[in-house]
Amino acid sequence: MKNIRNFCIIAHIDHGKSTLADRLLETTGAISERDYQNQVLDDMDLERERGITIKSHAIQMDYKQEGQDYVLNLIDTPGHVDFSYEVSRAIAACEGALLVVDATQGIQAQTISNLYLAIDHNLTIIPVLNKIDMDAAMIEEVKDQIVDLLGCDREEIIEASAKTGFGIDRILVEIVNKIPAPKGDPEAPLQALIFDSLYNSFRGVIAYFRIFNGSISKGDHVKFNATGMEYHADEVGILRLKQEPRNAVFTGDVGYIISGIKSSKEVQVGDTITHVGDPCKQAIEGFRPVKPMVFAGIYPTDADDYEELRNSLERLKLNDASLSFEPEASAALGFGFRCGFLGLLHMEIIQERLDREFDMNVINTVPNVSYKVFTNKGDVLDVYNPSGLPEPNYIEHIEEPYITANIITKAEYIGPIIKLCMDKRGTLKNQVYLTTDRIELTADIPLGEIVFDFYDKLKSISKGYASFDYHPIGYQNADLVKLDILLNGEIVDALSALITRNNAYEFGRKFCEKLKEFIPRQQYDVAIQAAIGAKIIARETVKAVRKDVTAKCYGGDITRKRKLLEKQKKGKKRMRQIGNVEVPQKAFLAVLKLDS
Amino acid sequence: MAGIYLHIPFCKSKCPYCNFFSVASLKSVNEFLGALYLEINSQKDYLDDQEVKTIYFGGGTPSLLKLSEINGILEKIRTVFSVGKAAEITLEANPDDITAEHLQEWLKAGINRLSIGIQSFNDADLKYLRRIHTGEQAERSIRLALDHGFSDLSVDFIYGIPTLSDRAFAFNLEKVVALKVPHISAYSLTIEPKTLMDVMIRKNQLPGPEEEQSVSQFLFLMQYLGSNNYEHYEISNFCLPGSYSKHNSSYWKGDHYLGLGPSAHSFNGVSRQWNISSINQYSGLIDAGKPHFETELLTPIQLYNEYVMVSLRTMWGAGLDHIQTAFGEGVASYFRSRATQHINNNEMHENAGLFRLTDKGKLFADKISSDLFLDND
Over residues A410-418, mean pLDDT: 92
Over residues A548-564, mean pLDDT: 94
Q: What is the pLDDT of residue A33?
A: 53
**Chain A interface disruption, residue of B277, B369, B370, most A CBs within 10 A:** B370
Q: Closest CB to B366: pick one of A548, A555, A559.
A: A548
- Does B367 sit within 8 Å of A548, measured CB to CB? yes
pLDDT tier, A55 (very low <50, low <70, confident <90, very high otherwise): very low
Q: Which residues of B touch A569 (CB under 8 A)?
A: 370-371, 373, 375
In this structure, what DSSP letter does residue A325 have? Answer: E
Residue A53 has pLDDT above 50, yes or no: no
Q: Which residues of B touch A545 (CB under 8 A)?
A: 211, 364
What distance in Å separates the CA atoms of residue A217 and residue B29, rounded to the nearest whole number? 89
Smallest CA–CA distance from B216 into chain A, residue: A546
Lowest average pLDDT, out of A16-20, A256-260, A554-558, goes to: A16-20
Over residues A386-410, mean pLDDT: 90
Q: Which residues of B touch A572 (CB under 8 A)?
A: 370-371
pLDDT tier, A547 (very low <50, low <70, confident <90, very high otherwise): very high
Q: How far is A541 from chain B (nearest CA, A)?
A: 17
Q: What is the pLDDT of residue A32?
A: 60
pLDDT tier, A190 (very low <50, low <70, confident <90, very high otherwise): very high
Lowest average pLDDT, out of A289-298, B83-92, B173-182, goes to: A289-298
- Does A554 sit within 8 Å of B251, measured CB to CB? yes
Q: Please tell me which of A43-47, A53-57, A526-530 the model is most confident about, judged by mean pLDDT.
A: A526-530
What distance in Å separates the CA atoms of residue B145 and residue A76, rounded to the nearest whole number? 85
Burial of residue B239 (number of CB atoms within 10 Å: 0-12, 13-18, 19+)? buried
Over residues A570-580, mean pLDDT: 82
Burial of residue B59 (number of CB atoms within 10 Å: 0-12, 13-18, 19+)? buried
Q: What is the pLDDT of residue A51?
A: 42
Q: Closest CB to B373: pick one of A549, A550, A566.
A: A566
On whether any CB of chain B is under 8 Å from the CB of A566, the answer is: yes
Describe the crossing of helices A17-27 and A168-178 by its angle, rounded to 10 degrees. Answer: 80
Q: What is the pLDDT of residue B30?
A: 96
State the number of CA atoms in the 13 A half-sphere of A285 facing the CB.
Answer: 2
| CB contact set of A560 (below 8 Å; sequence gap of 6+) | none
On whether any CB of chain B is under 8 Å from the CB of A547, the answer is: yes
* Percent composition of chain B: helix, strand, coil (DSSP 3-state, to 5): 45, 20, 35
On whether any CB of chain A is under 8 Å from the CB of B283, the answer is: no
Ramachandran angles phi, psi of A498, nearest 5°: -95, 130
Smallest CA–CA distance from A570 into chain B, residue: B375
What distance in Å separates the CA atoms of residue A489 and residue A474, rounded to the nearest whole number? 38
Residue A66 has pLDDT above 70, yes or no: yes
Q: What is the pLDDT of residue A429?
A: 95
What distance in Å separates the CA atoms of residue A44 and residue A49, rounded to the nearest whole number? 9
B65 contacts B222 by C-beta, under 8 angstroms? no
**Measuring CA to CA, which residue among A356, A298, A322, A358 is closest to residue A78?**
A322
B30-76 pLDDT tens trace: 999 999 999 999 999 999 999 999 999 999 999 999 999 999 999 99
Strand residues in A32-95 grouped as ranges (E)? 58-65, 68-75
| pLDDT-above-70 percentage for chain A | 94
Q: How far is B266 from chain A (nearest CA, A)?
A: 7
Structural domains for chain B: 2-251 (3.20.20.70), 300-372 (1.10.10.10)
**Measuring CA to CA, which residue among A86, A88, A61, A55 is closest to residue A74?**
A61
Q: Across chain A, what does the average pLDDT equal?
A: 88
**Measuring CA to CA, which residue among B183, B119, B108 is closest to residue B153?**
B183
Residue B283 has pLDDT above 70, yes or no: yes
On whether any CB of chain B is under 8 Å from the CB of A281, the answer is: no
For the residues of B25-55, what is the DSSP string, one character each?
Answer: --TTHHHHHHHHHHHHHHTTTTTTTPPEEEE
Residue A174 has pLDDT above 80, yes or no: yes
B99-156 pLDDT tens trace: 999 999 999 999 999 999 999 999 999 999 999 999 999 999 999 999 999 999 999 9
Strand partners, B82: none
Q: Please tell me which of A68-77, A278-287, B351-360, B368-377 the model is most confident about, judged by mean pLDDT.
A: B351-360
**Measuring CA to CA, which residue among B229, B125, B139 is closest to residue B183?**
B229
pLDDT tier, A137 (very low <50, low <70, confident <90, very high otherwise): very high
A538 contacts A527 by C-beta, under 8 angstroms? no
Describe the crossing of helices B320-327 and B300-311 by its angle, rounded to 10 degrees. Answer: 170
pLDDT tier, A287 (very low <50, low <70, confident <90, very high otherwise): confident
Alpha helices in A424-500 (DSSP H): 447-461
pLDDT tier, A50 (very low <50, low <70, confident <90, very high otherwise): very low
Residue A565 has pLDDT above 80, yes or no: yes
Q: What is the pLDDT of residue A379?
A: 92
Over residues B229-237, mean pLDDT: 97
What distance in Å separates the CA atoms of residue B231 and residue B315, rounded to the nearest whole number? 8
On whether any CB of chain B is under 8 Å from the CB of A572, the answer is: yes
Residue B340 has pLDDT above 90, yes or no: yes
Q: What is the pLDDT of residue B113?
A: 98
Q: What is the pLDDT of residue A571?
A: 83
**Measuring CA to CA, which residue among A328, A444, A344 is closest to residue A384?**
A328
Smallest CA–CA distance from B370 into chain A, residue: A565
Neighbours of B323 (CB within 10 A): 23
**Measuring CA to CA, which residue among B52, B127, B47, B124 is closest to residue B82?**
B52
B144 contacts B103 by C-beta, under 8 angstroms? yes
Residue B235 has pLDDT above 90, yes or no: yes
Residue A204 has pLDDT above 50, yes or no: yes
**Measuring CA to CA, which residue among A72, A143, A134 is closest to residue A107?**
A143
pLDDT tier, A332 (very low <50, low <70, confident <90, very high otherwise): confident
**Chain A interface disruption, residue of B191, B366, B372, B373, most A CBs within 10 A:** B366
Over residues B237-253, mean pLDDT: 96
On whether any CB of chain A is under 8 Å from the CB of B212, the answer is: yes
In this structure, what DSSP letter does residue A263 have? Answer: -
| CB contact set of A135 (below 8 Å; sequence gap of 6+) | none
Q: What is the pLDDT of residue A40?
A: 52
In this structure, what DSSP letter does residue A240 have? Answer: S
For residues A301 and A222, the model is more confident at A222
Residue B269 gets the label, from left (phi > 0), alpha (psi -120 to 50) or beta, of left
**Measuring CA to CA, which residue among A175, A241, A239, A173 is closest to residue A32?**
A241
What distance in Å separates the CA atoms of residue B106 and residue B91, rounded to the nearest whole number? 9
B208 contacts B201 by C-beta, under 8 angstroms? yes
Q: What is the pLDDT of residue A200?
A: 79
Q: What is the pLDDT of residue A56?
A: 41
What distance in Å separates the CA atoms of residue A438 and residue A436, rounded to the nearest whole number? 6
pLDDT tier, A592 (very low <50, low <70, confident <90, very high otherwise): low
Over residues A181-204, mean pLDDT: 90
Q: Which residues of A touch B364 (CB under 8 A)?
A: 523, 545, 547-549
**Measuring CA to CA, which residue among B153, B72, B81 is closest to residue B117?**
B153
What distance in Å separates the CA atoms of residue A487 and residue A494, rounded to the nearest whole number? 12
Q: Closest CB to A558: pick one of B189, B212, B310.
A: B310
What distance in Å separates the CA atoms of residue A198 and residue A318, rounded to the nearest whole number? 8
Over residues A81-108, mean pLDDT: 89
Task: Give ipTM to 2 decimals.
Answer: 0.95
User: Which helix (H) or strand (E) is B296 found in, with range?
Assistant: strand B293-297
Q: Please tell me which of A101-110, A583-592, B250-259 the model is most confident about, judged by mean pLDDT.
A: B250-259
On whether any CB of chain A is under 8 Å from the CB of B4, the answer is: no
Q: What is the pLDDT of residue A451?
A: 82
For residues A72 and A434, the model is more confident at A72
Over residues B206-227, mean pLDDT: 96
Residue A201 has pLDDT above 70, yes or no: yes
- Does B362 sit within 8 Å of A549, measured CB to CB? yes
The pTM for the full model equals 0.67
On whether any CB of chain A is under 8 Å from the CB of B376, the answer is: yes
Q: Which residues of B touch A523 (CB under 8 A)?
A: 364, 367
B304-334 pLDDT tens trace: 999 999 999 999 999 999 999 999 999 999 9
A446-497 pLDDT tens trace: 998 888 778 878 888 888 778 888 888 999 999 989 999 999 999 988 888 8
3-state secondary structure of A534: coil
On whether any CB of chain A is under 8 Å from the CB of B133, the answer is: no
On whether any CB of chain A is under 8 Å from the CB of B191, the answer is: no
pLDDT tier, A584 (very low <50, low <70, confident <90, very high otherwise): confident
